[in-house]
Structure 1
């Protein structure tokens, strides 16, 4: 019973040895009900600590963009707070349709600032789970595209990692863990800095950055029935990032500051989070779990002396019953977020009830879930908005044998408006009601998992009402630009994931995504977008990694990332002169492991491909546009 209650897992071997690599269905631990990949009723990607470690990424965005089906791009040049997309919601607003959690704590913002994923050190992650078109019952508001759940380590391992690289890049991180029958402790931290790549002015100053993070977690079992846990984390970031370029400037030299843009921005972004929770085990089958979180954030755009303060408080309580035949989770969610800056003092509140269940009948798994969520906001000037929304998940999985299964699922999901969509950015004036978007999601899938091959295929169709977007009137944006809704739209596509151990020496991992996102019905300010493609969505997204295990100590890997061209992020009329260029990058790495020491080196964008984010004609934000390299070591003790 003791082992079952302690929700901690020990990592396997830290060395990658050719002779004992095997694939197996991984458990999905952060959903409402624990299951495994093969029996899941959802389209799921699961990545382990070893997957992340072997990729030698500088941050989680880099891992997502090069190894998973998720697309990431720096937010208007801000590499610490990047935009994300999958399932065709677009690089402009896709991140607002993805819920991201860290150890169950939702880190999405109540305004249009993307989640600060760079605050999570890759070295501290035990598992990452990407649930597509699912997760609305547990995760709630914002889970139209799906959920990214990140679980941090709570193991006995101890390690430090140090690397240095081009453009003055330097990084140091550590993880320290302790486990015994009563107590589990873990601490991790990271310090990173870069001298910058792009110029920010004619004097040659560059877009330098720095970041410091830290996390501490404790779990204590005073009795066999009771588990107590608490945690604290912080992040301190400072970033100077350059503005957009014209097409001629971008083609001539993407490192330049640019002559006609708004100039560089400097942002300080600090966050502090506290968590506390308890679990009481009435029996091996029945438990009660309660978790509370508080997060305080400060975003300071130093360039404009613009400061925004955030305070988020949340609580969740869930009663779980888990037996061989049925698993049920029933719970309540509460959230209050406050945003204060020069123009606004806004509060958003979410209250929810949810029920999730899975029934196991031999080879059949049936999932049924429901969520009721009450969402409201209020401002100091008296405007308010209230919505009562319903989320549903239905799923079925048939497992043929220990290697193969098929599944089908439906979900009804929703996303409420961010608070700053409702108010004019420069005055704080109320702009009017923005409807919550609602999606009907349909998915069919197939899983085939053997010791040497893990294959996942899924087809999806999404029918949307009131998809939220920013209407950017290029001709008269000052007067007409506003946040509003697309009346009707739809998306469909195909996802393929395959990891194949070709031999003892070679293995390959492939992620391919095809998506088509269409606007069915929308007229705004006399402009008819009906029948157009949603901008910022690439039809094809490919990531492939080939690994060569030269011997039991040495691994070589080459990764190719490609996504096709798309309409620029603001091009809802599909008539801009310039399109979003295809994204291309080739990365290569080598890792040598001996006993407790690992040496590694990596070159990103080997062939110096130019990449950028197109917002409008002659408004291009360069991203991953030159070759960079790092080299370092990891020591385990």
Structure 2
């Protein structure tokens, strides 16, 4: 493949992805099934016992995060069963359920305290904007969640919960390590009165990263005011994130003998981001039967960048401006019956986004309105049914100087529903089955660059079926699940179709027929002794394009590894020290965008990482080394453009709690 072809085929996805960028992790010990203290917010948007939810849920607790000595969310998620993590120039993409990394930002919903990190364009959610030191826990629901969360929640939801202020502990952290990395952070909690508290967080980071011309400087500041009584829970939040990042670009196969280099055409490339977030959250108990909650979120993101391609250097400065605000009111009723609790949740979601990208003269004003309802009914003391439905409408007011220079208005709608059941066989085991109808709307980049003669893309729709079993053992737990995810009119970039008139590269975004993913997840954790805990998980997925263009029909979905295995153990050496060792295997896969399976595969790899922590009263010293054996491998590749993964790297972290 020539350099020109590589650049052309990569351009549609790369322009916005670049400019937007758009563990132990010993996970929380599995509780006894039915433990009333086990709650998750992700799966109901209100606190709900996880035993009632007919789906696969993983919770990464605060203790897990601290014991892992992690400083990046990618380190925490990499070991979760069913998740595949990729990195491009120091930015992380998380995929689930056989969704490729290229499509993950469109099909996996990531939230921080209920606020969407996903954008209305195809840029990946900026996980690096979330400071690990601020995280209280991470809740991961696998499988379609369109009924509760609407657009983009096709393969699952990752909800990152940060400290709210009710945690009275303060902390200071200092990190130093490979690639000239220096990081300092502060979380200061203070009670203003019996009901009011505030939390101030600050972070500063400098690093050169693994590759040349990949320096990063980031500063963050956050302020939260928290009001908490027996019947009220209100949070007022403001945070800013400023980041300057040099982007090294892709390498050709001939460049991989020196994986740290950056090609000369990327010498001027960078992405500078300034972002501000405002959030108000409130939850009130009305009486014994009713409570309501409301989320109001506002994001203002301004990005300046230079984006070159292999063989095509440029010095043109581009700007990307995003403004997103949302209002999510909801109400929950709860009534006690002889067989258990009847829970009924109803809500409205309103999302408004404005987007402008200077390079392509592209702009969009998008409004999404949704209404949803979820009902839990106890059929017996051991069996619960879940019934849920959502209706959503989207309106796009779109301008693109090449395809829609005078503008166009596009309207569409979609529905989703869930039918699920969970059954407790005894106090330590349960089974569940769940069928879900899911959807996602086309993003602005996709709507503005469609095949010749196509005006607007239809919503992508799909069916998801999952059957699972969970067993709490005397020495650990076992989780098993099988799933099928079928997508119709799947939206993706196809390099083989005829582009719109005036296009300067081949291919276009399409509704691509039908695809299917059949998967199996096994997750096992064992307490070998009072001081040694270990675990292993396995994910198998057969992802195939069932119906589409003749060149791609029957092909394996690119970017998806058929096999993923993670293993780990955590040894509490003595009262003050623990040692953690983790191994990650990711199988081979086709390059992103290679729907015809015509390009060489990305080879499989095995990575070993380790951490050790010492704790003395309020002080903790941790050392972590990732890629312990200095394995050379490719983390992401698209159309013959390669992004090498980090070599062996490590750091020391000193933490003080007060």
CA distance in 1, matches of 2:29, 2:152: 37
For residue 451 of structure 1, report the CA deviation from its aligned partner: 5.5
CA distance in 1, matches of 2:333, 2:373: 12
CA distance in 1, matches of 2:644, 2:148: 37
What secondary structure sits across from 2:101 in the alignment? helix
- State the partner residue of 1:565: 588
For residue 22 of structure 1, report the CA deviation from its aligned partner: 8.0
1:240-280, Cα deviation, whole Å (9 max, x unpaired): 12122222321x12112246x65562101221110123333
- The 4+ residue runs of structure 1 with deviation greater than 4 A are 20-25, 223-227, 261-264, 473-477
CA distance in 2, matches of 1:456, 1:165: 36
2:534 to 480, 486, 508: 508
2:248 to 221, 225, 242: 242
2:368 to 338, 345, 350: 350
The yes-or-no answer on 1:99 pairing with 2:109 is: yes
- State the partner residue of 1:307: 319
Q: Which runs of 5+ in 1 are unaligned?
A: 1-14, 200-205
Say whether the 8 Å CA contact 1:53–1:122 is kept in structure 2. no
- State the partner residue of 2:656: 635
CA distance in 2, matches of 1:268, 1:522: 39
Check 1:194–1:430 CA distance in 2 against 1; reply closer, same or farther (3 A cut): farther
For residue 377 of structure 1, report the CA deviation from its aligned partner: 0.6
Q: Which runs of 5+ in 2 are unaligned?
A: 1-23, 307-314, 400-405
Check 1:464–1:424 CA distance in 2 against 1; reply closer, same or farther (3 A cut): closer
For residue 468 of structure 1, report the CA deviation from its aligned partner: 1.0
CA distance in 2, matches of 1:289, 1:23: 27
For residue 634 of structure 1, report the CA deviation from its aligned partner: 1.1
What secondary structure sits across from 1:469 in the alignment? strand
What secondary structure sits across from 1:385 in the alignment? strand
What secondary structure sits across from 1:53 in the alignment? helix
1:592 to 586, 597, 614: 614
1:184 to 186, 197, 200: 197
What secondary structure sits across from 2:433 in the alignment? strand
Q: Note the 1:335-484 alignment, pairs <5 A.
A: 335-342=351-358, 343-360=361-378, 361-380=380-399, 381-424=406-449, 432-450=455-473, 452-473=475-496, 478-484=504-510
- State the partner residue of 2:47: 34
Check 1:474–1:586 CA distance in 2 against 1; reply closer, same or farther (3 A cut): farther
What secondary structure sits across from 2:415 in the alignment? strand
Check 1:276–1:592 CA distance in 2 against 1; reply closer, same or farther (3 A cut): same
Q: Note the 1:162-201 alignment, pairs <5 A.
A: 162-178=174-190, 181-199=194-212
What secondary structure sits across from 1:52 in the alignment? helix
1:108 to 118, 124, 130: 118
Check 1:616–1:112 CA distance in 2 against 1; reply closer, same or farther (3 A cut): closer
- State the partner residue of 2:152: 142
CA distance in 2, matches of 1:334, 1:568: 36
Say whether the 8 Å CA contact 1:23–1:451 is kept in structure 2. no
What secondary structure sits across from 2:51 in the alignment? coil
TM-score (norm 1): 0.89
1:307-327, Cα deviation, whole Å (9 max, x unpaired): 011111100111111244211
For residue 171 of structure 1, report the CA deviation from its aligned partner: 1.2
- State the partner residue of 1:257: 262
User: What is the RMSD computed on CA atoms of the aligned residues?
Assistant: 2.5
CA distance in 2, matches of 1:474, 1:608: 41
- State the partner residue of 1:9: none
